[in-house]
Structure formats: C-alpha cells, structure tokens
Amino acid sequence: MATIRDVAIRAGVNPSTVSRVFSGKAKISERTQRRVLAAAAALDFHPNAIARSLSVRRTHTVAVVVPHIFPGYFEDCFFPQVMRGLLEVAYEHGYRILVGGSNSHKDNITQTFEILGSRQADGIVVLSNRLDVDTVGALRQQSTPFVLVGRPPADNGALAWVDADNERYTQEAIDYLIGLGHRRIAFVGGDPEVAVTAERLTGYVTALERANLPRNQAWIDFGYFAEDGGYQAVQRMMALGVDAPSAYYAANDLMAIGIMRALRERGVCVPDEVSVIGTNNSPESAHVSPPLTTLQVPYAEMAAVAVRVLIEGIERGALEHVQWYVPCTLLTRGSTGPYRGG
C-alpha cells in the first residue's frame, strides 16, 4: 500500500507537502498540487486513517455498546430506531459508529470502559438504562465525552443525557383511560429491575391518586416485555372476578398483544368490554385487531439528539450538558373505548 512517503518521492516533494495537499488546509501552489495528485493517483494512494488518528488524536468515530439483554432485543423497537438515529446524524457529520456487543448489564459497562480506555472513539453514547451512581462517577472520571440515553440515577447537572419522560407519559396514558370512564386499571410493566419500569409505575400510581381512584396491588404485574407475560397477567387478574380490571396499560406492545390474546380466548371483547394500551408503536401494533392504542416513544430522535450533542461537544472541545426529554405521543386506535359498566 502506498504511503505519503511514496507519493512524496514520486512527486519530488517532502512528505509534509503531500500531507498538506490531502488535508486541504494549507496554501499549496497549483503546480505542486497537480504533481502530488498525479503521483497519488498513479500509486493509488489513500491516506491511512489510523495513522492520521494517532497524530491528530481524533478518530471521527463515536462508539455505542449494545446491551443485548433479552432475546428479541434486536428485533424490538429500541435497537433499530436507536441505530437509525445514530447513523443518520453521524453520517451527516462525517462520523462513523463503532458498535460493540455485550451480553449483560455488567458486561455492557465493562465494554464501555474498554472502548473509552483504549480511545478507539472520540465519544460514546451510553445506552445502558441501569447505570448506578458509581458507574456514572467513573464515567465522569475519564476524559472522553459521553452522552447518556436514559436519565442517570443522580443528576447533578454536570451530565448530558436524553430520555423520554416515562413517568409523565404513562400518567397521561392512564389519564386517557380514566377519561374514558375506567376505574379499575391494570399496570403490566416490563422488567421490574429496569429504571423505566419504576418510572412508568410511578406515573400509573400518580394518575390513579390524582383521580382518587382505587388502587389494588393485584392490578400490578410484570411481564418482562414478553407476550406471554401479558397473557399471564390477564389470567391472574381475571381471577379477581368483579374486581378484574376494565383497562390495561402495558409497557410494550408485545405484552399488550399477549393481553389481547388472553382476553379474546376468554371471550372478552376489546374494546367493548376491556380497553388495552401498549407502548412503542411497534410494527405489529397497527396490524393486530383491533389496532392497538399505543404510547409512541421516539427512540430514533433520542439517539439523534444524543449523537448530535456528542459530536458538537467533540468538535467544540466542550460537551453541552443538555438534559433533554423527547416528547412522546399517545396514538389512539381501536383497542381503547369508553367504560361500559360492569
């Protein structure tokens, strides 16, 4: 492979001149430029990005480590949308994305620090949603800029993060059900270990409290984001008889679909007898029958904002400590309707 030195020799100039021609930010005479370019073309010279990175201490790369934490993670809504947001913005700015895998929450942190420590990227977007205070502290100890997708456990204002306000929008979803006249409302969360689950649960509880509605521990269940989890939640709750919920909120669409299936199998009509709300506006949500009312979370936008802030921080040499909530939208479709007594 031709190097800058080969080109210099062939063009009869100093290597630094070749470098200047290719970097484009120095005044080089027409004539020299032509000679260098001709030599480069003849030798099929392409600058080595690694050598350049070592010299300028910049890789034009941002990293992300993908926490492959449950089966179906890649096919779920989060990952593809996040990749789209990252890639589109990175591409616009001439950056590439370095993606690392991980197979657990803990490994995710290990991998993150490995990339950071080895300086393979100019910055990193951290996707883990279960960062503890220590990890955030360790991240702050090091000098590579990072933006969190997901609000950190303790935010002292010196961090950049973007998130969805899960508490607020879950509350709005529950408010919507209350507005339809429902009084026995169930909450089917995902993994109770994950921060988002606690946030949504708080939104649920707040909505009920504000409306002075009854609460019942039996109306709260966790389906671990799996269709079967939603299905089983219904089985347990239908056993409550007259206390069975007339409306369900599920923290993702897959669980909501499981809920609808369980209801259908028991002859309960959605939305005439029971209403169901899902989350994420997944591809399937629009195609089940009835189409699922769902809380759309703009993951692509979250990721896009995160990299944009990150890249601007890299180029400016100082990261702006944005704390940003992207707006979510409740898409009302056929799976929710007014409470009809009972």
Partner DNA sequence: CTGAAAGCGCTTACAG
Note whether 19 binds DNA by CB under 7 A.
yes
Chain mean position to CA 5: 44
- The binder of 135, among its own copies, DNA, none, by C-beta within 5 to 8 A per type, is none
Nearer to DNA, 11 or 89 (CB): 11
Handedness of CA 234, 236, 239, 243 (dihedral sign): negative
| CB 250, CB 177: distance < 8 Å | no
Site for DNA in 33-52 (CB under 7 A): 33, 45-48, 51-52
In a 13 Å sphere around the CA of 342, the CA atoms on its Cβ side amount to: 14
Rounded (to 5) percent helix, strand, coil in the chain: 45, 15, 35
Query: Per-residue string for binding with its own copies, 142-181, x by CB under 8 A?
Result: -x--------------------------------------
Q: By CB under 8 A, name the one of 286, 315, 316, 340 that touches its own copies.
A: 286
Q: How many CA atoms lie within 13 A of 26 on its CB side?
A: 11
Residue 164, both tokens: 């969805």
Contact assessment for residue 92 and residue 62, using Cβ atoms and an 8 Å cutoff: no
When binding is defined by CB under 8 A, the residue of 99, 239, 269, 318 that contacts its own copies is 99
Does 70 participate in binding its own copies (rule CB under 8 A)?
no
- Tell me, residue by residue from 209 to 248, as one string, x for binding to DNA by CB under 7 A and - for no binding: ----------------------------------------
Is 103 a binding residue for its own copies by CB under 8 A? The answer is yes
Question: Does residue 3 interact with DNA by CB under 7 A?
Answer: yes
User: From residue 136, how far is each of 8, 20, 33, 75, 265 by CA, in Å?
Assistant: 48, 41, 49, 28, 46
Binding residues for its own copies, total number by CB under 8 A: 48
Burial status of residue 337 (CB atoms within 10 A of its CB: 0-12, 13-18, 19 or more): buried
Which of residues 116 and 330 has its CB atom nearest to DNA in the complex?
116
Told to check if 26 binds DNA by CB under 7 A, we report yes
User: Angle at Cα 134 formed by Cα 303 and Cα 154, nearest 5°?
Assistant: 60
Q: Say if CB 246 and CB 263 are below 8 A apart.
A: no
Residues 46-85 that bind DNA (CB under 7 A): 46-48, 51-52, 54-57
Nearer to DNA, 48 or 235 (CB): 48
Considering the rule CB under 8 A, would residue 53 count as an interface residue with its own copies?
yes
Tally Cβ neighbours within 10 Å of residue 202: 15
The torsion defined by the Cα of 38, 44, 49 and 50, in degrees rounded to 10, comes to: -120
Contact between 154 and DNA by CB under 7 A: the answer reads no
| Cβ nearer to its own copies, comparing 27 with 287 | 287
Q: Which parts of this chain interact with DNA (CB under 7 A)?
A: 1, 3-5, 12-17, 19-20, 22-23, 26-29, 31-33, 45-48, 51-52, 54-57
Q: Which residues contact its own copies (rule: CB under 8 A)?
A: 1, 46-51, 53-54, 59, 61, 66, 68, 74-75, 77, 79-81, 83-84, 87-88, 90-91, 96-103, 115, 117-120, 143, 257, 282-284, 286-289, 300
